[in-house]
A and B are shown apart, each in its own frame.
Chain A
Amino acid sequence: MQHTDYSAKVIDHFMNPRNMGELAGANAVGTVGSPACGDMMDIYLKVEGDQIVDASFKTFGCTAAIANSSMMTEMVKGMSLQDAENLKNRDIEAALDGLPPHKIHCSTLAADALHEAIKSYKERQGATQGKVAAS
């Protein structure tokens, strides 16, 4: 393929990534991927109550991996945790006007990183539930 097979939105999010960098005050982090396979993603979320109020990413990976990370963080800002848990890689892919077939894997990674962050957040919430209720 040529990168001209990428949609204009993919190229835009790759060249001008939104929400890139570590997130001050993040209370949920998800990491997926493997550098040896050529992509790895850190997703940072700031969750208040049941809502994601802010999100950011850092990604080692190709054009599609970076564009998916960027688009995903845009989509989940303001989303309820439940809606974010239900966000599918197909949704991110559609928001980017599609991906070349052999790059679909990269959108799976962004959704996986998001779900990983929510899972770790919930686990921590569960563990500190008593403390939160007491304060």
Chain B
Amino acid sequence: MATTQTPAPPRRIYMDHAATARPLPEVVAAMLPYLAEEYGSPQSFHRQGSGPAHALKRAREQVGGLIGAPASQITFTSGGIEANNLAVKGAALAYERRGKHIVTTEVEHYSVHHSVKFLEKLGFETTLVKVDGYGRVDPQAVVDALRDDTILVSVQLANQEVGTLQPVAEVARLVKAHNKQIIVHTDATYAVGQIPVDVATLGVDLLSLTAHRFYGPKGAGALYAGKGVRLTPLIHGGVQENGKRAGTENVPAIVGLGVAAERAAAEMEARVEKVRGLRDRLERGLLERIENVQVNGHPSERLPGYLDLSIEGIEGEGTLVRLDLDGIAVASGSACASMALKGSPVLHAIGVDEVLAQGSILITLGIDNTDADIDDALEEIPKVVATLRAMSPIYGKRKHYFR
């Protein structure tokens, strides 16, 4: 039997910036000395400690600068997941004498959902606020969920899967008007570095961010905590990070985070314009070339790089593999593309038809994408869709359930 050799992909096109992004060359360069000669601990009293201690101080200023916060209100963590854990568990435990009720949404990242599940085992109660068909939460619905014993509200700034932006400033304003003692947290790990983020404008008490999604390294993130906001530490055993997070600091990664934050702040407007332009061209082009496809998430209130598509009649994992063999890296929310073989809870929450959800492809663009990348994607993606639809026993034989 003759088998056709799969040709080697010509070049790699990375369109999975929701997963992670390539660190900027200046980020890597800035990190290198702290992996080598500047190996000292920032807590050491001797000379070896002073370089790293200064680097840490500078990175704290750079990160604060990106989100409009004083350096003193930035706590470094190992990343976004730890920042969310520290925010949710740390605030809940610090304020549990006031009450044990938490309000959050049904589309939060697992690091928030699993943290509140953990807290439920300790006697806390949670209300999950629903979202609309675009993935947006109604600020009034958050207020309606508040109780006398509510101590914490956690609403993400941008959704990890469809990129929908939440009205966090409005949520914070209404919650504080209702009861200014309630702590408001926003998981901004998908938003910081992608769109302008300012803690004063948002009016939140706590904000999580992570470096590797805005061209910094993995292993560094931060939690902003406003003045007077208390947090019970989750990691004990040292004085680092003002006692909020023990452990010798990951200086190289934090230095990288600082440089990435500074670059993001300086280039914000140009980045948003470039990435949104590429995404809009890709979105228009794919909708012209592929029939029976739906864009998930909010049409305009969406992260600039995000394009989540549900493609009728095909399954996402196969689409992802074919595109990857063609050199294009994307993600999928289909059950088969997850190790747990479970469909996406976000697509379920926004009411995407369950068969359509199996055909979801998440394309997330970044500053390193080019017009040529978009040209190639516009050529390859429709081809792959047509090939898989020709194999599909359900394509064209099922009622459409588009929104």
Contacts and interface: CB of A to CB of B under 8 A. Distances in A.
B318 A14 contact: yes
B318 A58 contact: no
A59 B335 CA distance: 16
A41 B383 CA distance: 22
B322 A60 contact: no
Contact of B336 (A20, A39, A40, A42): A39
A40 B317 contact: no
A3 B324 contact: yes
A36 interface: yes
A75 B186 CA distance: 55
Interface stretch (A46-54, A61-69, A118-126): A61-69
B317 A60 contact: no
A18 B3 CA distance: 10
A35 B358 contact: yes
Contacts of A35: 355, 358, 394, 398
Nearest to A2: B324
Nearest to B340: A102
A126 B114 CA distance: 56
Contact of A15 (B314, B322, B337, B339): B322
A61 B398 contact: no
A66 B393 contact: no
Nearest to A20: B391
Contacts of B315: 38-39, 60-62, 65
Given A12-B6, A18-B1, A62 B339 contact: no
Q: Is the interface of A mostly helix, strand, loop or mixed?
A: mixed
Q: Which of A14, A20, A38, A63 has the most CB of B within 10 A?
A: A38
A38 B325 CA distance: 21
Contacts of B358: 35-38
Contacts of A31: 393
B343 interface: yes
Given A12-B3, A14-B321, A15-B6, A62 B354 contact: no
Interface of B: 1, 3-4, 6, 313-315, 317-318, 320-322, 324-325, 334-337, 339, 341, 343, 354-355, 358, 390-395, 398
Interface of A: 1, 3, 6, 11-12, 14-18, 20-21, 31, 35-42, 58-66, 74, 102, 105
Given A36-B358, A59-B392, A65-B318, 17 more contacts: A1-B339, A11-B6, A11-B325, A14-B321, A15-B322, A20-B391, A21-B390, A35-B394, A38-B336, A38-B343, A38-B358, A42-B393, A59-B393, A60-B391, A62-B334, A65-B336, A66-B391
